[in-house]
Amino acid sequence: MKRKRRHLTAEFKARVAKEALKEEKSIQEIAQENDIAPTQVSAWKKELEDRMSELFERKNAADKQLRHHEKRSGQLERKIGQLVIEKEFLEKKCRQLGIDLNERP
């Protein structure tokens, strides 16, 4: 009889892989308790071992990108402030000289 295909959640797979990683029980015991194939438990365990370092790499990359964006944002805010001051200065000088800024040449 053919077994119906199950869709297992990521949380379930992570829990099983973590249990296998602890090595308190054999792969066979974990597989029997969870009604899955031992090869599947081994595959999830291997994937967990292979990808654990990615958790920290992604965080560091995200932190670096965030710092870059914050630095760039600060630069842009300073530039906006500088341009506003220049605009106000030029408007004041135009008024003093009697130049109408609304008049188009």
Closest to 10 in 3D by CA, of 42, 47, 35: 47
Domain ranges of the chain: 10-97
pLDDT tens column, 44-81: 999 999 988 887 777 777 888 999 999 999 999 999 99
Provide the whole-model pTM.
0.53
The whole-angstrom separation of Cα 42 and Cα 29 is 12
Query: Residue 95 corresponds to which tokens in the numbers above?
Result: 């008024």
Closest to 13 in 3D by CA, of 49, 48, 63, 53: 48
Q: Is 5 helix (H, G, I), strand (E, B) or coil?
A: coil
The whole-angstrom separation of Cα 27 and Cα 25 is 7
pLDDT tens column, 20-51: 999 999 999 999 999 999 999 999 999 999 98
